[in-house]
């Protein structure tokens, strides 16, 4: 699963905003630390309300989808932390973005569209860290939504 999460899949997240409404955002990349901590890299400007909500104690849901075959997994955690990326994160973020943009181009996106989809400003990234306590399959089909037991 760690390989899947770090394999250039599309990562999105949902939280409960400080006003109680749901909020959705997208992550640029994902790293998994010691097989237990998931670290999502987010554009701060685009996701400011989500970061605010996480700091205020929102639970978090994150779904990871392969652009190529739609295999998907959703992770959930009761809380998360907001931090800054480490210098060594950048090459890995870039690597995952290249994989995703290549897959989007394989699907027929133009180069400009694919690059725009994965574009990020390294100076504007935040990290959201959480330890998932529940995992669900999300691949479209009969088993979608089923919880994976550890």
Partner 1 sequence: MTVCGLRALRGAMEGIAASLLSTCDADGRPNVSMISQVHWVDDDHVALSWQFFNKTRANLLATGKACVEIFDPRTHARYRLHLDHVETRTEGPLYEMMKARLAGIASHHGLEGVFRLLGADIFRVVGVEQLTAPVVARQDDRPPLLSAVRSCIDDLARCRDFDDLADALLDGVVRHLRIPHAILLMAEGDGRLFAIGSRGYPSSGVGAEILPGEGVIGVAAREAVPIRIGHLSADYRYGAALGAAARQAGLVAREPHGVPFPGLGDPHSQIAVPILSAGRVLGVLFCEAREIMRFDHEHEDALMLLAGYLGALATLLGEDEPRPADTSGLPADPPAGLVTVRHFARDDSVFLDGDYLIKGVAGAILWRLLRQNAESGRTDFSTRELRLDRTLRLPAHAENLDARLVLLRRRLDERGACLRIEKTGRGRFRLIAACGIRLKEMGEAATPAG
Edge-to-edge strand order for the sheet containing 22-27? 22-27, 10-16, 60-65, 72-77, 134-137, 147-148
Contact set with partner 1 (CB under 8 A): 10, 12-16, 20-26, 45-46, 49, 58-63, 65, 68-72, 74, 76, 107-109, 112-113, 116-117, 138-142, 144-145
d(CA 121, CA 22): 25
Look up residue 13 and give its two tokens. 């997240």
Nearest distance from residue 141's CB to partner 1, in Å?
5
Nearer to partner 1 by C-beta: 13 or 127? 13
Give the 3-state secondary structure of residue 24. strand
CA distance 12 to 62: 6
Q: Identify which of residues 1 and 116 has a Cβ nearer to partner 1 in the complex.
A: 116
Q: How far is the CB of 139 from partner 1 (least distance, A)?
A: 6
Name which of 35 and 112 has its Cβ closer to partner 1. 112
* Least distance from partner 1 to the Cβ atom of residue 33, Å: 21
Q: Minimum Å distance from CB 92 to partner 1?
A: 23
Instruction: State which residue, 68 or 95, has the beta carbon closest to partner 1.
Output: 68
Q: Are 101 and 113 in contact (CB under 8 A)?
A: no
Residues in CB range of 111: below 8 A, 6 or more apart: 105
């Amino acid at each position: 699963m760690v390989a899947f999460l770090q394999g250039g899949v599309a990562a999105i997240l949902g939280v409960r905003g400080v006003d109680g409404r749901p909020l959705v955002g997208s992550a640029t990349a994902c790293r998994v630390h010691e097989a237990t901590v998931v670290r999502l890299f987010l554009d701060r400007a685009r996701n400011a309300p989500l970061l605010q909500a996480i700091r205020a104690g929102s639970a978090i849901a994150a779904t990871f989808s392969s652009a190529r075959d739609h295999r998907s997994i959703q992770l959930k955690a009761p809380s998360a932390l907001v931090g800054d990326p480490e210098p060594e994160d950048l090459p890995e973020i870039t690597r995952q973005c290249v994989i995703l943009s290549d897959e989007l181009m394989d699907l027929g996106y133009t180069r400009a569209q694919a690059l725009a989809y994965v574009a990020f400003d390294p100076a504007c990234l935040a990290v959201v860290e959480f330890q998932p306590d529940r995992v669900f399959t999300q691949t479209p089909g009969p088993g979608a939504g089923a919880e994976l037991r550890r």
